[in-house]
Amino acid sequence: MIFVWFTKEKRLIPEELFDRARLKTLLNSDPDLNAEDSSYYLAIVQNLFFATLSVEAGRDANGKENRRWADHGAGMKNDRLVHSFYRYKPVFRDADAALNIFSTIPFLNGGLFECLDRELTERDLLRNPELKELASKEGSGWVLRVDGFSRRTDAQPVVPNKLFFGGEAQADLNADLGTRGKRYEVRGLLDIFSTYKFTVEENTPVEAEVALDPGLLARFREPACKLQRRHQVHRSQAIRLVLHAARGGRLHGG
């Protein structure tokens, strides 16, 4: 999210996707008033990651838009586990407006925002029998839901709106931090980001305490990618691509 916020600060992603007032008109569920819902993460964050930043703008061989809504009909559809289609259309108050906003966002190559949900093959299960304990039965097969980018409510992750738009609150984090009897001040993630100035050059002395240089993105992201042991080179290239664009270069797609 910090990487996405930085690209938003450089106007590569519209402010509307992070603006409380705009989200009230874009979504059926106001993130501020429905703190326990996961509407923001599902409708905005997942669609941004998996069906926008990972999908090149344009049309496919059949003349259909690459960036389009998944079919929300009944039964098993051809778009099942096709992560390039937008989902959660019923969550939007104005689905067309959302599609227009997403259409302005550039494509970032390299698998940086790739959805990790996948169907397991018999070979997968034979080689790693423990996968069945992590997977869920869907139809006649087994699906490993890592991100939960799905219309199935039982496959969707729970990421409450309050994690993004929590404002200031007190929380009991004693079990997590190994303390007793303390209350900790917490804020929503986007509320925290909004207190910092994101820069593309080295910080000036005046800004040093509140500015975040984009170079730190590569420093914390690349080790994380190595731990994941997947798409290491492609993901780091995607980060450098955005940093180059922020310094005056251009991104493909849009």
User: What pLDDT score does 104 carry?
Assistant: 94
pLDDT digits (tens, 9 = 90+) for 194-226: 887 776 555 555 544 445 555 555 555 555 555
User: In this structure, is residue 106 part of a structural domain?
Assistant: yes
> HSE (CB half, 13 Å, CA atoms) of 158?
3
Domain shared by 187 and 205, yes or no: no
User: What pLDDT score does 199 carry?
Assistant: 65
User: What pLDDT score does 252 carry?
Assistant: 47
Number of domains in the chain: 2
Domain shared by 31 and 91, yes or no: yes
Is residue 113 within 8 A of residue 49, CB to CB? The reply is yes
Domain shared by 166 and 40, yes or no: yes
Sign of CA dihedral 203, 209, 213, 215: positive
> 11-38: b or e for each residue (b if 16 or more CB lie within 10 Å)?
ebbeebbbeeeebeebbebbbbebbebb
User: What pLDDT score does 211 carry?
Assistant: 52
Name the residue with higher pLDDT: 7 or 238: 7
- How far is it, in rounded angstroms, from Cα 94 to Cα 27? 7
pLDDT digits (tens, 9 = 90+) for 182-193: 998 888 899 888
- How far is it, in rounded angstroms, from Cα 80 to Cα 228? 25
Is residue 151 within 8 A of residue 72, CB to CB? The reply is yes
Collect all residues with Cβ–Cβ distance below 8 Å to 181 and sequence separation of at least 6: 174
User: In this structure, is residue 153 part of a structural domain?
Assistant: no
Closest CA to 111 of 235, 251, 253, 252: 235
| First and final C-alpha spacing in the chain | 20
Q: What angle do CA 146, 149, 153 make, to 5 degrees?
A: 100
Name the residue with higher pLDDT: 177 or 44: 44
User: In this structure, is residue 39 part of a structural domain?
Assistant: yes
User: What pLDDT score does 160 carry?
Assistant: 94
pLDDT digits (tens, 9 = 90+) for 61-77: 888 888 999 875 555 56
pLDDT beyond 60 at 111: yes
Is residue 149 within 8 A of residue 50, CB to CB? The reply is yes
User: In this structure, is residue 123 part of a structural domain?
Assistant: no
Residue-averaged pLDDT of the chain: 80
Beta bridge partners of 168: 187
Which structural domain range is residue 32 located in?
A: 2-113+160-195
Domain shared by 174 and 243, yes or no: no
> Which stretch of 21-35, 142-156, 168-182, 226-240 has the lowest confidence by average pLDDT?
226-240
Name the residue with higher pLDDT: 80 or 58: 58
Is residue 33 within 8 A of residue 41, CB to CB? The reply is no
Closest CA to 120 of 109, 112, 128, 110: 128
pLDDT digits (tens, 9 = 90+) for 135-170: 998 888 899 999 999 988 989 999 999 999 987 788
